[in-house]
Amino acid sequence: MTRKLLPVLLLLSAAACTRSGDTVPAATAAPPASPARTYTASEDRDYCGQLAGLYLRYEGSIGARVMPDVNVSAAINECAKGNYAAGIPTLERVLRDSDFTLPKRS
């Protein structure tokens, strides 16, 4: 299963890029003046690649034996199909549950 996902992950990871200087606005009592930020498909693809790469780099294996998480595999597959709305939340949740700091989203 992991070998089948590796080419897809490599494509997603290669497309991922980061941009410094992005900040998250502090929470306030007043509602935001503008609607929530929407992301392009390209931005979603890049972010999904970053999340998948982070997971596979630090959580995807123990020694030489790979222990895939079925939910993560499904999320990576969803991202590979372009269904980022299904893949990104799962990857974010799994990484947060493992106490990872998520990469900034461009």
Tell me: the pLDDT tens digits for 57-103? 887 755 555 666 889 989 999 999 999 999 999 999 999 998 999 99
- pLDDT class of 106 with cuts at 50, 70, 90: confident
In the prediction, which pLDDT does 19 show? 40
pLDDT for 105 equals 86
- Could you give the CA distance from residue 21 to residue 57 in angstroms, rounded to a whole number? 25
- Which pLDDT does position 97 carry in this prediction? 92
**Alpha helix (H) ranges present in 20-83?**
41-58, 70-80
pLDDT in tens, 22-61: 444 455 555 555 567 788 999 999 999 999 999 988 877 5
Which residue shows structure tokens 């597959």?
Answer: 77
Global pTM reads 0.62
Instruction: Report CA 10 to chain centroid distance, whole Å.
Output: 13
> Residue 102 contacts by C-beta under 8 Å, 6 or more apart in sequence?
51, 92, 95, 96
Q: Let me know: does 66 contact 50? Beta carbons within 8 Å.
A: no
Q: Does the pLDDT value for residue 5 go beyond 70?
A: no
Q: Quick one: pLDDT at residue 52?
A: 92
Token match 């003046």: residue? Answer: 33
